[in-house]
Chain A
Amino acid sequence: MSLDIVVCIKQVPDPQHFSKITLDPVKQTIRREGIPAIMNPLDRHAVEEALRLREKYAGKVTAITMGPPQAAEILQDACAMGVNDVILLSDRVFAGADSLATVYPLAAAIQKIGKFDLVICGNESVDGATQQVGPQLAELLGIPHVTYVNKIENFADGSMTVKRVIEQGYLKIHLQLPALITVVKEINEYRLPTVMAIMEATCKEITVWSNNDIHADGEKIGLDGSPTNVFGVFEQKSTRKRNMLKGTPEEVAKQAVQWLRKLEAM
């Protein structure tokens, strides 16, 4: 058996620098200047799982991302980890897309790639955190999907069995291929690229597709194709207020409960 796997990855601001992010009160946007961009952490686990499947069953792994030209950097990271091919979807008409307007170009690109057995995404991104791209993409591709996957149990006869994390345990789900899964970090420990792999990755050619290459419906992409819009952003400020309670332990406990109820915290 040989598997053709597509991994969808995203460039995001490095969470370690989130404290440096500020808001532009006029433009109502997030200022990302000076914040290093990295591959979404869960997407690294998605790439790793694809590589492990390829090592076990043979086949090919293609990583794809949509973004500005600098998003090519995370494709180099994916190359250094060991993927076979990388595709950058980059076109000004894609700009400003919400999750639905993101999956149209992604779906069109995956269909252009041709045959695939499995699509793997990170469960969510650290910036948007909508968890929508994976399921929406599966619906557009017309394939079954499972989110919150923490283990792939096996592949056999054109189907696979995965474990999906739920609050009190997990579900074991059987699904037909081709399929899409979104993974959580517990699924694996991702590999670090070697020095030689890094050097080879920076020399590897990155395929860049614009909308002219994938022919996504112009009305469904970019800002105009996005059914959701961000009307404003605001900073949530939290302040600490000290309130000394006096009395016996029983009295203090009662007062504390009253305060918490008043604050609607209980």
Chain B
Amino acid sequence: MDFGLSREQEMLRNMVRDFAEKEIRPRTAEFAQPEGEFPFDICKKMADLGLIGLPFPKEYGGSGMGHVAYLIAIEELAKVYPGWGSHLRGFGLVPAVLEMHGTEEQKKTLLPRMIKGEILSCISGTEASGGSDVAGISTTAKREGDYYIINGRKCMITRSTITDVFLVSARTGENPRDISSILVDRNTPGFQAGRLENFISTSRTNFAGEVTLTNCKVPVSNLVGKEHRGLGAMLTGINEVGRTGGAAMLVGLAQAVLEIAVKYAKERHLYGKPLTNIQTLLFMLGDMERNVARARWLTYYAGWLLDQGKTYQEIPGEIAMCKLDASEAAINVCLKGIEILGGYGTTPEFGIISKFKSALDMIAAAGSNNISRLVMSNATVKKYS
């Protein structure tokens, strides 16, 4: 058993850390502004460095360094600005689906351009009735010759106004589970990105909104995976990138909060001694470290299993566990951080509150924590049956 990172993983971590310090930290105030243009230049730099292609094979433009490497990169970005960790994760969702379920033509034409950052993509599954209840999907895709005619409304779609290609889940049959995954270009007539949601961490860098599809006519060749079996395809992305990547993002932001709290506790004196000499607060720091370490190892373990060739169907519990644990750990760490900093804990200058907001938003992302708990619990019972 070896808990150490490989040399190339270490070099990757150093490179992403350097990138985040040089390119992201000086602009965090700009990224957090509520309005303004999305900073595409950061996307391009991330793609040029090869970050989007980390888990994807060389033949489609990736590097094949692996999932653990991908999670390390997400974690490092999230330490400085959680939104960019979240974006790196998001840029990999549709490519992960295409790699596993796409046709050779789809892989050859789309994957390299997505990995280069030339095409931004996202999964569009959630509807007003909810994201977790797939049976509740009401968007339809009717087959007419060599085309699908898609009608419906999706909501909470990440980067909705700037994304180029949406992987839309739509009902294609009578059976409740007859869901297909279909690629829709934003320039398709009838496609419209509308109202943005007002999330707690919404900014010019992080936003999600509604998209409507009105008689959108897309070729059948845009179908990803088998007709009526699109849910499984979509879950590949949601699980293997969405949940593990979300966990890595949460680990990164929690690590940042821990470091802020330790620094403050060492410098701030109370009753003539630093806060670290007060056991109640000292224990909090220890517990924060415990939370971060546990979440990180569960996350890396899920990534390592994926690097061993496992699919989400084989390790649903491990994937769900890492996302659930990282979410609870990050919230716990943020709350403890706020307690240690006292009044300063919720001031924007100290940087905890913005990370706390990102942690709260992740509760519902890539399957809510309750869904993760359900998947994990079912996997547990199955494991011991």
Contact = CB atoms under 8 A, between A and B. Distances in A.
A binds B: yes
Interface of A: 38, 73, 76-77, 80, 192-196, 198-199, 201-202
Given A195-B15, A195-B63, A199-B65, 13 more contacts: A77-B11, A77-B14, A192-B49, A195-B12, A195-B51, A195-B53, A195-B54, A195-B69, A198-B12, A198-B15, A201-B11, A202-B7, A202-B8
B18 interface: yes
Contacts of B69: 195
In order of increasing CB-CB distance, the 8 nearest A-B pairs are: A195-B50, A202-B8, A195-B63, A198-B11, A194-B50, A202-B7, A194-B49, A192-B15
B214 to A, nearest CB: 41
Interface of B: 6-8, 11-12, 14-15, 18-19, 22, 48-51, 53-54, 63, 65, 69
Given A195-B53, A195-B65, A196-B50, A73 B7 contact: yes
30 contacts: A38-B14, A73-B7, A76-B7, A76-B11, A77-B14, A80-B11, A80-B15, A192-B15, A192-B19, A192-B22, A192-B49, A193-B11, A194-B49, A194-B50, A195-B12, A195-B15, A195-B49, A195-B50, A195-B51, A195-B54, A195-B63, A195-B65, A196-B50, A198-B8, A199-B8, A199-B63, A199-B65, A201-B11, A202-B6, A202-B8
A193 B8 contact: no
Contacts of B50: 194-196
Nearest to B7: A202
A156 to B, nearest CB: 33
A57 to B, nearest CB: 25
Chain A CB count within 10 A is highest, among B8, B48, B63, for B8
A194 B48 contact: yes
A86 to B, nearest CB: 14
Contact of A193 (B6, B7, B15, B54): B15
Contacts of A196: 50, 63
A5 to B, nearest CB: 23
Contacts of B8: 198-199, 202
Contacts of A192: 15, 18-19, 22, 49
Contacts of A73: 7
B272 to A, nearest CB: 13
Contacts of B15: 80, 192-193, 195, 198
A81 B7 CA distance: 15
Contacts of A199: 8, 63, 65
Nearest to A203: B8
A34 to B, nearest CB: 14
A189 to B, nearest CB: 8
Given A194-B48, A194-B49, A202 B11 contact: yes
Nearest to A189: B22
A229 B337 CA distance: 46
